[in-house]
Amino acid sequence: MKTTATVVLALSLAAPAVIAALEDPPPQHVKWMKESAELQDRIRNGQDVQASARRMEALYKEVEAFWAKRNSEVAVKACRDIQAAAAKVAAGDAGAGRAIGAGCRSCHDQHREKISDTVYKIK
């Protein structure tokens, strides 16, 4: 009886961590993507371009680490491409902004699945 109670207790304590790990996409990834969209809008609209591009470069270093753990070569390459483009934008190359969008698109084509008009998951 004690063994059963111990197993039930252990499972109930572990359940929140397991459930959080199964969220798809994880809340942190959603946060990164929302911030990325805001930064892209600022760059596109000429608002605080240099700072936005630098933040985007730093942001995609974090996103790259996320995808490296998931072993996605496509996503890691996209993150690196976005970082390189953001660095060029920060240095004054306004035309490099298009490469940011291309990097996003390559990852989304591979890993983004539309569930509804407002919900996406990682595939």
Would you state the pLDDT for residue 43?
95
Q: Is residue 1 part of a domain?
A: no
Q: Is residue 80 part of a domain?
A: yes
* 26: three-class secondary structure by DSSP: coil
Mean pLDDT across the chain = 86
Q: Is residue 10 part of a domain?
A: no
Q: Is residue 100 part of a domain?
A: yes
**Structural domain harbouring 116:** 24-122
Cα-Cα-Cα-Cα dihedral sign, residues 20, 114, 58, 72: positive
Domain count, the chain: 1
Would you state the pLDDT for residue 119?
85
Name the pairing type of β-strands 120-122 and 112-114. Answer: antiparallel
pLDDT at position 100 over 50: yes
49-59 tens-digit pLDDT:
999 999 999 99
7-62 tens-digit pLDDT:
455 555 554 444 434 468 899 999 999 999 999 999 999 999 999 999 999 999 99
**DSSP readout, 59-98?**
HHHHHHHHHHHTT-HHHHHHHHHHHHHHHHHHTT-GGGHH
Distances (CA, A) of 92 to 47, 79, 100, 104: 13, 20, 14, 21
Q: Is residue 9 part of a domain?
A: no
Q: Is residue 14 part of a domain?
A: no
Say which residue the tokens 């608002």 belong to.
47
Would you state the pLDDT for residue 15?
45
Q: Is residue 5 part of a domain?
A: no
Q: Is residue 82 part of a domain?
A: yes
pTM of the model: 0.78
68-82 tens-digit pLDDT:
999 999 999 999 999
Would you state the pLDDT for residue 18?
41
